[in-house]
Amino acid sequence: MISIRVNNEPRQCDPNLSLECLLAFWGFESTQIAVAVNESFVPRSRYSDCHLENGDRVEVLAPVQGG
């Protein structure tokens, strides 16, 4: 298991699982989120071959009101 942060919350995860599996496991619906790892954008098409490393910071963002 590795230690990562998702939206600044600490989490443990299996490094063998892809980002796609992890997002589903965490309960995110992939069509309504956008993801960055370590402040770099990860396109939806790359979720399946993206694997996290210890210390990675994941941002999972969704649409909100804005000015």
Partner 1 sequence: MTTDKWELYGQTFASRLLIGSALYPSPAVMNAAIEDSGAEIVTVSLRRQSPQQGGGSQFWQFLKELNKTLLPNTAGCHSAKEAITLAEMSRELFETDWLKLEVVGDDYNLQPDPYGTVEAAEALIKRGFKVFPYCIDDLVVCQRLRDVGCEVIMPWGSPIGTGRGLMNPYALQTLRQRLPEVALIVDAGIGKPSHAVQALELGYDGVLLNTAVAQADNPQLMAEAFRDAVRCGRNAYLAGAMPERQTASPSTPTLGTPFWHQQ
* Choice between 12 and 39, CB closer to partner 1: 39
The least CB distance from residue 3 to partner 1, in Å, is: 19
Which residue, 49, 42, 64, 55, is CA-closest to 4? 55
> Least Å distance between CB 25 and partner 1?
10
Cβ 42 to partner 1, closest distance in Å?
A: 9
Point out which residues bind partner 1 (CB under 8 A): 7-8, 26-29, 32-36, 39-41, 43-44, 59-67
H/E run at residue 52: none
The full DSSP string for 6-40 is ETTEEEEE-TTSBHHHHHHHHT--GGG-EEEETTE
